[in-house]
Structure 1
Amino acid sequence: MEGRQDDGNKGTWDSTPARIGESLRMLIDSRMEVSSAHGVPNIQRASNPTIKLAWTVIFLAGTGVMTWQVVALFQAYFAWDYTVNLENVQDWAQRVSQPRYYRSKSLDYARYRIRQVALANTSIEERVSLGHSLDDMLLDCSWKGIPCSPENFTQIYDSQLGNCYTFNSGQHGEQLNTHRPGSYFGLSLELFVEQDEYVEGMTQEAGFRVKIHHPSNMPFPAEEGILISPGFNTAIGLRMLELDRLPDPYGDCKADLSEDIADDVYHQHYNITYNRKTCEVSCYQNEVIRRCGCFDASYLNSLEVDKTIYPCRYTSPVETKCLANIEWEQADDELECNCPIACHETTYLSRVSSSIWPANAYESLLFERMALYNDVMRTNVNGENASEWTRQNLAKLEVYYDEFNYEYIRQVPAYTIPDLLSDIGGQLGLWLGLSVITIFELLEGAWLILAFIFTRCGNSTREVDVHPKTNTVVI
């Protein structure tokens, strides 16, 4: 066989560069001949140079296309896409269609802001005392047919609506639960509007606003509430909706709702957990405090500067312009507030219906009950316009679950590691006929070649016996 030495030492190769190159070529040829990669054995076996070149071009073309496809697959994987049936999106830029939306202020709005600033100059205790008391507003309360009372409500103060009351917040004891759907197994309230105590110019409608929310979230009934009109029985049927969103790298949602909320003004006042709405409002309010030296009376003041700065005066051109500039920046999403949406969120889908209340056949019985409440009720239900007065001042509200089936919306990765491996395997098999076994063959061949080279480099005079057919190197 070519390459044998003439000194009778069979089974060894000469250490000259030519012999080393010949040994390496034979080793590579043997690996190509037994390779399971489509095209590689054809290149090695072809005796015609044209055919060898053709197979080489085909193999390199397949390698190039496969590389392009694999790079595209990795790009698709590291895009961190996800699939979801429904996603809740909040974006300030989408809420206002015109950049100058906040420039024009109506006369009614100006009067409202002036009164709002006047109230903001008083303490929270004074503002609460000026608002409606639940003891006067709540005429009757029942939960699953069992009587409830103002003790089941927690009070908060809303800068736009005044005193607000949360039923079943859980802050003063165990939360109430219901185990059956339907109006008989929910909350039923009879409410007194007290129109005679409304402040002139502060509101244009009479009634209530109701917001259904998770106990740990801050309600914003002025923006999100359901209007409850006097003279009607309003029924709100609920279905619970749970949302699970993927955190980084798939999306920008907040997983821990209790961290990094020290600047949230609503957390400071009511110890609520993180909510995107409160974060956006707090970001806006803190920016107003920092740049204008006052706070917007539409929202709560930060406790960090409480009683050290005053509410921005609507009669001050400088402070009004400063407020307007920040409002425009917020509308254009230029405040750079870090307010991602929560990764897990519980909300409620509502179905609202109403009917005239009380019915004519029920009036006499209702009047008898109302006469027992207080002197104001007793005087009006015994007057000539008892029916009209009742329909202008009394409202009934029912809140209950429509059904206990709830919607669960979960974001899942659109492209996972098994998908990536499967697609890469498909591309390797389609273009080159490669498999996992082929990869091990390539690794084995690379190891043999490296062992051959390192052995020759380590000792150029050392003789090595190479058995190409058995794929072994004997030193």
Structure 2
Amino acid sequence: MGENICGYWCKFLLYFKKQSVPSLEERKKYNQEFATSTSFHGVHNVAENSGSAQNSKLRKVIWTTFLLVSIIMASWQVCSRVINYFSWPTTTSVTVQYVENIDFPAITFCNLNRFQTKAVNNLSIAFLLWNIVSAVLQLVSIANDSTDMQEIANFLNLNQNFSIKEFTRDYGFYLNKSTLLKCSFFGYPCYPEDFKHVFTEYGNCYTFNYPMYPLKKRITNSGRGLSLLFNIKQTEFTDDPSLGFVDAGISFIIHSPKIPPRFDGLGLHCPAGMHAYVSMRQFKTIIQEHPWGECNPALKLQFHEVYNTYGCLQECKSHYIQNLCGCVPFLLPGGGKECDLQQLYNCVPNALYTIEKSEFCSVGTYNATCPVPCEETDFPATISYSTFPSGKAAEFLTSKLRKSAAYLRNNLVYIDIKYHELNYKITKQQKALSFSELLSDIGGQLGLFCGASMITIIEIIEFLFANFYWMCIFLLVKTPSIPRWTNNQSKHGKDIQEC
């Protein structure tokens, strides 16, 4: 290795020995020609001699001052532009796009009462078990008192084949002609078969306009949309009020058909005996990729069509729970073995605590596990209510449904969902300064203060290279040799002489 370095060094010295150092007059002439011919404005005024010696000297001082000030100003402006560019500035534009027709979103409906009262003898056990299961959707562990835990443990010992998933499917809220009394979309009838069953934190829920259904629903007129009449059957579906379930009605969430429904306190609610009028809008948000924004366009989800933060969290939790427990809860996506009730009770809560404590599944910034999506669609809605049914409507429905007016006001929920207008708002995050704009800005500053261009920069680089080349020849070849060598230097000196 040392011999190779010495060989290259010898060749380097031999090359420069063959070169001749230009004389002082030749270097002055080259510098004078560069100063008078360069396109860098003002330099030739410093180099030229005109008029008397006194006037020429004064003129050089003035032009040198102007030239230095211009170079300083140009350098300051260029540096500030470069620093500003690498701060990754952005601007946000808001555009309202009017269209002739617009896609209708997916809407997921749930009964606020999860289970039928006749499901099991001790229904509180089912509520506690469901709370343990649904905790995976909020990424929180369940902390119940020791009495509850012991009661659940005893129940599991006596019912080892008990499945909370099948129990919920069989004894949770169901959608048929007795619970969906009326359904119309844009004036056309719809049926329970048009809804897709999904599990959420509310148990059995049903999604209208599910993406797997072939019919793509679009709206061509504002003021009309989806109209539904539910019978929540309070006497049949009644959660235990001692556990905090004190409401009766329908909870629903409006979301994109390409992402899973996320309630988590974000759902809209319509109580029994009310007619809800929901007016929604469509908002699209486009975020720049890192480093301008916080999104990562390369991220893909395995079990969802498009990337979204909630779906990413579900897959992240599914991955860690599978690694820690060897199974996947049925509320989470995944291809692994489904967790049985013992695993849901013994392992999953501890796994959730570990995930939360260690922040394995973080949200928000680019460096988080689940950063914000580069594009997402939201459906903000306003909701108003009126009492349902009215006196005349109660008489009509009483004879039609053969139910009392009191039953109707305690069990019927009427919901109308429509677009406010046929438009959508786009909020777009944009780069405040692109690279081409940075180059244009730098060129403008150099042109303003120095009259410089890319050709000027090449001229200056050529001038500096030539002077550096001559300096290398002078320092490496023309410097007098040291007459005496130390013992450590003698071998290296001989190698150079042999070269």
Q: Quick one: which amino acid aligns to residue 145 of structure 1?
A: G
Q: Quick one: which amino acid aligns to residue 269 of structure 2?
A: L
* Residue aligning to 1:421: 439
Superposition pairs for residues 328-367 of structure 1, below 5 Å? 328-330=357-359, 333=362, 338-367=369-398
Unaligned runs of 5+ in 2: 1-18, 95-138, 475-499
* Residue aligning to 1:44: 47
Secondary structure, counterpart of 2:207 in structure 1: strand
Q: Deviations over 1:410-432 (max 9, x none)?
A: 22111113431232123213432
* Residue aligning to 1:197: 236
* Worse-superposed segment, 132-141 or 333-342: 333-342
Shift of 1:165: 0.8
Q: Deviations over 1:200-255 (max 9, x none)?
A: 42633111111111111100234321011111111111111122222244334243
Shift of 1:400: 0.8
* Residue aligning to 2:5: none
Q: Quick one: which amino acid aligns to residue 223 of structure 1?
A: G
Q: Which of 213, 229, 232 matches 2:255? A: 213
Superposition pairs for residues 320-469 of structure 1, below 5 Å? 323-330=352-359, 333=362, 338-370=369-401, 378=402, 381=403, 386-435=404-453, 438-439=456-457, 442=460, 446=463
Q: Which of 278, 283, 295 matches 1:253? A: 295
Asked if structure 2 preserves the Cα contact closer than 8 Å seen for 1:280 and 1:337, the reply is no
- In the alignment, structure 1 residue 157 sits paired with structure 2 residue 199: yes
Q: Deviations over 1:40-87 (max 9, x none)?
A: 12221255667646644653454344334323322322333322258x
* Residue aligning to 1:227: 269
Asked if structure 2 preserves the Cα contact closer than 8 Å seen for 1:191 and 1:394, the reply is yes
Q: Quick one: which amino acid aligns to residue 208 of structure 1?
A: I
Q: Deviations over 1:79-120 (max 9, x none)?
A: 33322258xxxxxxxxxxxxxx97995779969x969x9799
Q: Deviations over 1:258-308 (max 9, x none)?
A: x3x23xxxx2xxx554321121233234334434667678x4374313247
Q: Which of 185, 190, 212 matches 1:171? A: 212
- In the alignment, structure 1 residue 287 sits paired with structure 2 residue 305: no
Q: Quick one: which amino acid aligns to residue 395 of structure 2?
A: S
- Say if 1:146 and 1:296 are closer, same or farther in 2 by CA, change over 3 A: closer
Shift of 1:153: 1.0
- Say if 1:179 and 1:216 are closer, same or farther in 2 by CA, change over 3 A: same
Unaligned runs of 5+ in 1: 1-15, 87-100, 371-377, 458-475
Shift of 1:446: 4.4
Alpha-carbon distance between aligned partners in 2 of 1:140 and 1:327, rounded to the nearest angstrom: 43
* Residue aligning to 1:66: 74
- Say if 1:312 and 1:295 are closer, same or farther in 2 by CA, change over 3 A: farther
Asked if structure 2 preserves the Cα contact closer than 8 Å seen for 1:295 and 1:311, the reply is no
Query: What value does the CA root-mean-square deviation take over the aligned residues?
Result: 4.1
Alpha-carbon distance between aligned partners in 2 of 1:301 and 1:186, rounded to the nearest angstrom: 31
Asked if structure 2 preserves the Cα contact closer than 8 Å seen for 1:209 and 1:222, the reply is no
Asked if structure 1 preserves the Cα contact closer than 8 Å seen for 2:141 and 2:349, the reply is no
- In the alignment, structure 1 residue 237 sits paired with structure 2 residue 279: yes
Q: Percent identity?
A: 27
Q: Quick one: which amino acid aligns to residue 300 of structure 1?
A: L
* Residue aligning to 1:23: 26
TM-score by length of 1: 0.70
Alpha-carbon distance between aligned partners in 1 of 2:67 and 2:147, rounded to the nearest angstrom: 76
Asked if structure 1 preserves the Cα contact closer than 8 Å seen for 2:227 and 2:416, the reply is yes
TM-score by length of 2: 0.67
Asked if structure 1 preserves the Cα contact closer than 8 Å seen for 2:142 and 2:349, the reply is no
